[in-house]
Amino acid sequence: MNIFVTGGAGYIGTHTILELLALDYNVVAVDDFSNSKPIAIERVKELAGRDFTFYEANVCNISKMDEIFSKHKFDCVIHFAGKKAPGESVEKPLEYYKNNLDSTMALCEVMKKNNVKKIVFSSSCTVYGANNPMPLTENSSVGECINPYGWTKFMCEQILTDVVNANKDWSVALLRYFNPVGAHESGRIGEDPQGIPINLMPHIAQTVVGRIKYLHVFGDDYDTPDGTCIRDYIHVVDVAKGHVAAIKYIDKNAGVSTFNLGTGDGTSVLEFISTFETATNKNVPYKISPRRPGDAPICYASTNKAENELHWKAEKSLANACEDTWRWQSMNPNGYERKNIYK
Ligand code: WQD
């Protein structure tokens, strides 16, 4: 099968391409390097021990996308490309709506023109409303998003649903990620946030490697056992394998299918820190700080539907993710070095 991967140089894109190549899928990837680096693509080829076609381009560029689709006969698309920082989306809503919605609509237009009818979409648990009981199921209420980033994911899910309603032979998988963490066990690819990290794991890793003085724990007065927020942290390799399972599923099932990609386990911030310290034998200096606006106290997934229908279940532990992240961060203290090998 020929798979077209947008955002292929990104955190989840690189790990997913590696899984696809290992299973002998043919991959063509695109990335504009607005939030990633060319060396990530080279590292994936090195780890896979095989080449794949890559284009530096923006998915919103319809003529370029059409040119790529005319050169390759794709069986399925995985759409990762998009802006993904919830906090930044509050400051720059128009950028987020334009980029995330235009890229999805442009891709659907080019797919339709080139008779490609299967797509796996990178969605998010941020589409769920804040007042849902836990664990979150795929039938939990959606559409009370707390930031423009979440709204763009909610709107893209709606766009894809309406495209399927108008084209009954299309197959769409909407994958709602919980909190992807970790890195490939080689330490050669990993999460490389640009600028000051937003998410917990890269913040911890950059603190321990010495790039940041200490970790701020955003609030310890929530209604949880230890007062800190609870999340569902899932190893990025398990997320990548979930995409392979979704490709297989939509190859046999038309229509729109929604799946949570989580572990079903909730971990608090303090439990996370303790797990990281035990797994790496490193100390994580931290200070309790004020709450971060918009943080939900508890968020974790029901994984029954993905297990029963995708026949996929997360296999790695948070301790594995901490070990793998630390190997990546200690081998790459400054993340991917910027070498513009495609220029
Ligand atoms: C986790 C917990 C923070 C940093 C993420 C992605 C979002 C979506 C859902 C995919 C919170 C606390 C964090 C720090 C801290 N995933 N924290 N100090 O907010 O759940 O959202 O998962 O779409 O895109 O951003 O993840 O890692 O930012 O925060 O105390 O320096 O860690 O308060 O409780 P979040 P996060």
Segment 83-103 shows an average pLDDT of 94
Strands (E), 114-178: 118-124, 171-177
- CA 244 to CA 229: how far, in whole Å? 31
Residue showing tokens 């009981």: 133
pLDDT band at 339 (very low <50, low <70, confident <90, very high): low
Q: Are 300 and 136 in contact (CB under 8 A)?
A: yes
> If you measure from the C-alpha of residue 86 to the centroid of ligand 1, how many angstroms do you get, rounded to a whole number?
9
Q: Hey, whose CA ends up nearest to atom 30 of ligand 1?
A: 217
User: pLDDT tens across 217-251, in order?
Assistant: 999 999 999 999 999 999 999 999 999 999 999 99
Q: Are 209 and 201 in contact (CB under 8 A)?
A: no
Segment 24-30 shows an average pLDDT of 98
User: Is the CB of residue 292 below 6 angstroms from any atom belonging to ligand 1?
Assistant: yes
Segment 303-323 shows an average pLDDT of 98
Provide the pLDDT for residue 337: 80
User: Is the CB of residue 150 below 6 angstroms from any atom belonging to ligand 1?
Assistant: no
Residue 194: pLDDT over 90: no
User: Is the CB of residue 203 below 6 angstroms from any atom belonging to ligand 1?
Assistant: yes
Q: pLDDT > 70: what percent of the chain? A: 98
The predicted model scores a pTM of 0.97
CA distances to 157, 201, 261, 266, 301 from 179, in Å = 19, 10, 9, 10, 10
Number of CB atoms found within 10 A of residue 302's CB: 18
- Catalytic (active-site) positions: 149
Q: Are 170 and 118 in contact (CB under 8 A)?
A: yes
Q: Decide: residue 252, CB within 10 A, 0-12 exposed, 13-18 middle, 19+ buried.
A: exposed
Provide the pLDDT for residue 342: 46
User: Is the CB of residue 124 below 6 angstroms from any atom belonging to ligand 1?
Assistant: yes
Provide the pLDDT for residue 86: 86
Mutate to test the pocket of ligand 1, among 269, 274, 318 (most ligand atoms within 8 A of CB): 269
Provide the pLDDT for residue 197: 87
User: Is the CB of residue 86 below 6 angstroms from any atom belonging to ligand 1?
Assistant: yes
For 249, the 3-state DSSP assignment is helix
Provide the pLDDT for residue 338: 63
**Backbone φ, ψ for residue 56 (5° rounding):** -85, 110
Residue 118: pLDDT over 80: yes
Mutate to test the pocket of ligand 1, among 12, 134, 200, 233 (most ligand atoms within 8 A of CB): 200
Q: pLDDT > 90: what percent of the chain? A: 93
User: pLDDT tens across 169-184, in order?
Assistant: 999 999 999 999 999 9
Average pLDDT of the chain to the nearest whole number: 96
Number of CB atoms found within 10 A of residue 66's CB: 15
Sign of CA dihedral 215, 221, 225, 231: negative
